[in-house]
A and B are shown apart, each in its own frame.
Chain A
Amino acid sequence: MSEPIKYFTTTVPFWQPRVTPVELENATEEQLEAMKVTVSNTKIGEYTLVLALDPETLKQRTPLFNGIMYSRGGLSRAETELGAVAASVVNRCIYCAAVHANRYNELTKDETVMDSIFASSENTGEDSGIDPRQMALLDFATKLSKCPSEATKADVERLMENGLGVGEVLDLVLSASLFGWANRLMHVLGDPLPQD
């Protein structure tokens, strides 16, 4: 078996669960409903099949995740992804970081920001060449992701000085917080392996 990936990458790994997922053919009605399985949608990933072991939380989590990451208005899609990546770097969730760095790169057509974040992940933000607004976003999301949170009023003021509106700050709080949740599932319940 391949060794788990230990370093940040924008190549999305294969996620190998550490617990035994639900088998789709044996899933209960409640599990199927939580996974949103329909006749036209029978390709369900391993991660969803693992989370279906607790269908009550999965049923709420999926629309919550989509609501935070894809709602219209407020913070841009790309900047929402920055919050997700910052949390994933703090929590060293290689899988989540790869998926969301990849989305960021697709949305912005700019790979330099993620290259810089991953290169300086032990030493966030110094001499990164990242613009001040993005740096303010990253620093806030990084501090909020620590346990306990290290984010301060001054960090929020810095976001607003860099042009974020109150609604955008809220969306950043939600995105970084959401990955405090997602990373604790993805990184704890499985291993990121190289794709074949």
Chain B
Amino acid sequence: MDIFETIVAKAAGLTAGSPLTAVLNLRSEILELTENSHEASLRPNQPGGLKRSERAGLACRIAKRNNDPVLAKHYESMFGVGSQAIADTGFDGGDDARLKAIIRHTDLVTLNPKEATASDITELLSAGLDDADIVRLSELIAFISYQVRVIAGLRLMAEVA
């Protein structure tokens, strides 16, 4: 795998010849597993009750909540039916109770995970998500929260290097 073809390296603006090349090569396995995790979260073989188009929309929304327009743009390239609305941070799900619960939970856990309580899980169950969908949604939010910080860190490192 070419480390400069990974989403985190591209979003951080790193290209071949970057002064960070040597240290990134030492952690190439981690970059590869990060890329695999992106596929598992965004384009799983078995998406269950969380469609790929919904995942792309939520991922874009999370990137926007983290003030990362470059990563948000990457997720826009994966949009399908309905993604655009979900990615709009002014949209709360409207009349769709299931979507509303998903968006509310995504914003909460992205911005302020410490405030999440047992009742937030109960709300998702009440809105029709099953246990597996709740884990799928949690992994998606949690993965993008990781990815966006790796990118932020790499950008700062590139500025200093």
Contact of B153 among A53, A67, A177, A188 (CB under 8 A): A177
What secondary structure prevails in chain B residues at the interface with A? helix
Across the interface, name the chain A residue whose C-beta is closest to B147.
A177
Across the interface, name the chain A residue whose C-beta is closest to B139.
A57
Taken together as a complex, chains A and B put the C-alpha atoms of A194 and B131 apart, in Å, by 24
Using Cβ atoms and an 8 Å threshold, which residues of chain B touch A188? Answer: 109, 113, 116, 120-121, 138
**Chain A 147-159, CB within 8 Å of chain B: the 1/0 string?**
1110111011100
Which listed segment binds A: B41-49, B74-82, B90-98?
A: B41-49
**B13 → chain A, closest Cβ, in Å?**
14
| B103-139 CB contacts (< 8 Å) to partner A | 109-114, 116, 118, 120-121, 131-132, 134-136, 138-139
Judged by a CB distance under 8 angstroms, whether A99 is at the interface is: no
Using Cβ atoms and an 8 Å threshold, which residues of chain B touch A170? Answer: 20, 23-24, 27, 153-154, 157
Are A57 and B113 interface neighbours, CB within 8 A? Answer: no
**B113 → chain A, closest Cβ, in Å?**
5
Judged by a CB distance under 8 angstroms, whether A39 is at the interface is: no
| A127-167 CB contacts (< 8 Å) to partner B | 144-145, 147-149, 151-153, 155-157, 160, 166-167
Chain B: number of interface residues, binned into ranges: 35 or more
Are A182 and B157 interface neighbours, CB within 8 A? Answer: no
Are B27 and A147 interface neighbours, CB within 8 A? Answer: no
Using Cβ atoms and an 8 Å threshold, which residues of chain A touch B40? Answer: 56-57, 59-60
Taken together as a complex, chains A and B put the C-alpha atoms of A93 and B114 apart, in Å, by 7
Known contacts being A56-B45, A157-B160, A188-B109, is A178 close to B29, with CB within 8 Å?
no
Using Cβ atoms and an 8 Å threshold, which residues of chain A touch B118? Answer: 18, 191
**A31 → chain B, closest Cβ, in Å?**
10
Judged by a CB distance under 8 angstroms, whether A61 is at the interface is: yes
Across the interface, name the chain A residue whose C-beta is closest to B118.
A18
- B residues at A contact (CB < 8 Å): 19-20, 22-24, 26-27, 29-30, 33-34, 36-37, 40-41, 44-46, 48, 65-68, 109-114, 116, 118, 120-121, 131-132, 134-136, 138-139, 141-143, 145-150, 152-154, 156-157, 159-161
Q: Can you offer 18 A-B residue contacts whose CB atoms are under 8 A?
A: A18-B121, A19-B134, A20-B131, A54-B48, A57-B139, A64-B33, A64-B34, A73-B26, A147-B65, A147-B145, A155-B156, A156-B156, A156-B159, A171-B27, A172-B153, A173-B149, A185-B138, A188-B121
